[in-house]
């Protein structure tokens, strides 16, 4: 790996301003950001609806960055930090794979520079202070029944989804039902990913709604609870983006990690702002498919100040399209162009969604050794007919940057095309209209089913002036709310089960279907395979 100071110098950063963590990673203080006259072009990576066959979005994002360097461009990659839950659970690491990885991969997949620990500590400190305020009757008309601020953990621990607190006697506080979420769904995580400065961070933390007074109309905020200064102290270093590199030495900024299905699914605005001042092209990844991560990238991240993208890359695989074409996993290696064509309805829908936001799109076919030429030909034909400005094979896993130069050329061409960036709805649109719009235009639903109290909750939010963008939390395995519906289903109903206000993150989380915000471990967790060998090396983390 290249010395981190050398990498920083090439980016226009002062190496002496970095805060190094060892020899291969560093934090970049906000006051050390350069200010370039010419901003880089931003390329957002999205994909078809995820399948068990895998799409390789992170690997392709890393490979594209390496490919851009191979054709003489100056790229910077911005990606999310992997959460420990999936690392030890089913998904594994999130630093790419094969010859297209971000390094030091083991560190990034584990504790890294401590950002997630800081966020978890800050979140749970606020929870403790909320319970203390209730115990001491510090706020008029605010008791345990009004508390909505849950705790978070970075472990996939289903036993903590619903718990009882305060048991054991009066000195432990009132008994109430509570629970944990995964820390990637923490509002603190979302706030860090969206804040533009320490001043903005403080204001957003202060605005967090932790509960409701007895009238169930008056919110209680972190500002009233107190301790915002202590939370700021815990979050000081977490707001600084982390500088590392790809396996081929291109600068990579790894910062924040909200999930794309239950949170807004993008790395930080600060990371993109740093990157656009340090290169010619910024490659960034949005979580899951175009209906989730990409939509949230545009309607939440860009809306709240993130740089506008110049183009999008929609990643697909032959295997993934076969899955959407109803081919079983055991039959993936059997050549079946017609199944690919059936499944390509999902690809067409992803391109349709990207087009709704006014961006030119390139399709990247992430290659597997078993892909047949006639299957690839089908994808290229369908993609061009659906409006893609280019279609190229992505061979980053096997070949690194050398296998990504054709895709890189296509992306440069796409970024030079005229774009007319637009968002799906206006800020002042009614909340119900926003959800109905999303349901029909994004998810191809025919109707929205509003669950008990959801309309009342939405009106309460509106009465408090929270006219925020909508963060739909739904399954990532279908464009609908039913994970069993493959391809591009239409005519279904989008069920709205619950609304949660994230006033600090400036969004309304809307749970569409039975959504679990704290995953549980699978029957064969990756934690069984990860180990420390006699040489002190960590082994068994996937994608490293």
Q: How many CB atoms lie within 10 A of CB 457?
A: 20
Angle between helices 187-194 and 228-235 (to 10 degrees): 70
Q: Of 361, 371, 359, which is closest to residue 418 (Cα–Cα)? A: 359
What's the confidence (pLDDT) of residue 170?
A: 86
Q: Are 425 and 439 in contact (CB under 8 A)?
A: no
Q: Are 24 and 1 in contact (CB under 8 A)?
A: yes
Distance CA 72, CA 183 (A): 39
**Mean pLDDT over residues 213-222, rounded?**
97
Asked if the model's pLDDT at residue 543 lies above 70, the reply is no
Q: What is the 3-state secondary structure (H, E, C) of 243-297?
A: EEEECCCCEEEECCCCCCCCCCCECCHHHHHHHHCCCCEEEEEECCCHHHHHHHH
Asked if the model's pLDDT at residue 236 lies above 60, the reply is yes
Mean pLDDT across the chain? 96
Q: Whose structure tokens read 């969206």?
A: 194
pLDDT tens figures, 527-536: 999 999 999 9
Q: Are 256 and 223 in contact (CB under 8 A)?
A: no
Any bridge partners for residue 448, and if so which?
494
Distance CA 45, CA 313 (A): 5
Least confident segment among 19-28, 169-178, 346-355, 406-415: 169-178
Q: Do domains 116-232 and 431-512 have the same CATH topology?
A: no
Any bridge partners for residue 45, and if so which?
285, 313
Pair of tokens at residue 449: 């089913």
Which top CATH class is 431-512?
A: alpha beta
**Mean pLDDT over residues 404-418, rounded?**
97
**Fold designation for 116-232:** Domain 2, N(10)-formyltetrahydrofolate synthetase (3.30.1510)
Query: In which band, very low, low, confident or very high, does the pLDDT at 83 lie, cut at 50, 70 and 90?
Result: very high
Q: What is the CA radius of gyration of the chain?
A: 23
Pair of tokens at residue 430: 């009614």
Q: Which residue has the higher pLDDT, 465 or 55?
A: 465
Asked if the model's pLDDT at residue 229 lies above 70, the reply is yes
Give the rounded percent of residues in the chain with a pLDDT score beyond 90.
94
pTM score, whole prediction: 0.95
Query: In which band, very low, low, confident or very high, does the pLDDT at 299 lie, cut at 50, 70 and 90?
Result: very high
What's the confidence (pLDDT) of residue 198?
A: 98
Spatial neighbors of 215 by CB under 8 A, at least 6 apart, are 141
What's the confidence (pLDDT) of residue 544?
A: 39
CATH H superfamily, domain 4-114+238-415: P-loop containing nucleotide triphosphate hydrolases (3.40.50.300)
Pair of tokens at residue 317: 């695989």
Judged by DSSP in three states, 496 sits in strand
Query: In which band, very low, low, confident or very high, does the pLDDT at 542 lie, cut at 50, 70 and 90?
Result: low
Q: Judge if the upstream peptide bond of residue 104 is cis by omega within 30 degrees of 0.
A: yes
The domain limits of the chain are: 4-114+238-415, 116-232, 431-512
Distance CA 91, CA 351 (A): 26
Judged by DSSP in three states, 538 sits in strand
Q: Whose structure tokens read 């629970």?
A: 179
Asked if the model's pLDDT at residue 6 lies above 80, the reply is yes
pLDDT tens figures, 355-373: 999 999 999 999 999 999 9
What's the confidence (pLDDT) of residue 419?
A: 84
Of all helices (H) and strands (E), which one includes residue 96? strand 96-97
pLDDT tens figures, 182-205: 999 999 999 999 999 999 999 999
């Amino acid at each position: 790996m290249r010395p981190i100071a050398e990498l920083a110098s090439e980016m226009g950063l002062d190496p002496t301003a970095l805060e190094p963590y060892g020899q291969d990673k560093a934090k970049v203080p906000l006051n050390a950001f350069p200010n370039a006259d010419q901003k880089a072009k931003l390329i957002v990576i999205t994909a078809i609806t995820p399948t068990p066959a895998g799409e390789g979005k992170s690997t392709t994002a890393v490979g594209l960055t390496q490919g851009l360097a191979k054709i003489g461009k100056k790229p910077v990659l911005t990606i999310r930090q992997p959460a420990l839950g999936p690392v030890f659970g089913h998904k594994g690491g999130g630093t790419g794979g094969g010859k297209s990885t971000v390094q030091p991969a083991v560190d990034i997949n584990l504790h890294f520079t401590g950002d997630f620990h800081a966020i978890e500590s800050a979140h749970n400190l606020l929870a403790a202070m909320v319970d203390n305020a209730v115990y001491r009757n510090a706020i008029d008309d605010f008791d345990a029944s009004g508390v909505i601020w849950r705790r978070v953990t970075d472990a996939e621990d289903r036993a903590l989804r619903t718990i009882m607190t305060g048991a054991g006697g009066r000195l432990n506080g009132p008994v109430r039902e509570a629970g944990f979420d995964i820390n990637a769904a923490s509002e603190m995580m979302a706030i860090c990913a969206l804040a533009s400065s320490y001043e903005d961070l403080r204001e957003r933390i202060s605005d967090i709604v932790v509960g409701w007074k007895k009238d169930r109309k008056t919110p209680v905020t972190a500002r009233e609870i107190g301790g915002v200064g202590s939370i700021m102290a815990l979050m000081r270093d977490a707001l600084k983006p982390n500088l590392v590199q790809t396996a081929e030495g291109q600068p990579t900024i790894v910062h924040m990690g909200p999930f794309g299905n239950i949170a807004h699914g993008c790395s930080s605005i600060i990371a993109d702002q740093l990157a656009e001042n340090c290169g010619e092209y910024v490659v960034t990844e949005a979580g899951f498919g175009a209906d989730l991560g990409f939509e949230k990238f545009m309607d939440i991240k860009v809306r709240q100040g993130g740089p506008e993208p110049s183009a999008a890359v929609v990643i697909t695989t032959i295997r993934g399209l076969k899955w959407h074409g109803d081919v079983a996993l055991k039959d993936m290696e059997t050549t079946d162009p017609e199944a690919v064509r059936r499944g390509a309805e999902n690809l067409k829908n992803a391109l349709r969604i990207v087009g709704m936001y006014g961006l030119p799109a390139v399709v990247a076919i992430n290659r597997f050794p078993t892909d047949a030429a006639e299957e690839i030909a089908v994808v290229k034909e369908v993609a061009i007919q659906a409006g893609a400005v280019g279609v190229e094979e992505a061979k980053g896993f096997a070949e690194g940057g050398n296998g990504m130069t054709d895709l890189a050329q296509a992306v440069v061409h796409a970024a030079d095309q005229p774009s007319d960036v637009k968002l799906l709805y206006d800020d002042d649109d009614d909340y119900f209209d926003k959800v109905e719009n999303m349901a029909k235009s994004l998810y191809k639903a025919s109707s929205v089913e509003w669950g008990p109290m959801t309309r009342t909750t939405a009106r309460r939010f509106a009465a408090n002036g929270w006219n925020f963008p909508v963060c739909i939390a739904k399954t990532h395995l279908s464009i609908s709310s039913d994970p069993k519906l493959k391809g591009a289903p239409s005519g279904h109903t989008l069920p709205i089960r619950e609304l949660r206000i994230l006033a600090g993150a400036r969004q309304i989380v809307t749970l569409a279907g039975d959504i679990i915000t704290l995953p549980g471990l699978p029957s064969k967790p990756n934690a069984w395979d990860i180990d420390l060998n006699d040489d002190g090396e960590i082994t068994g983390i996937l994608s490293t």
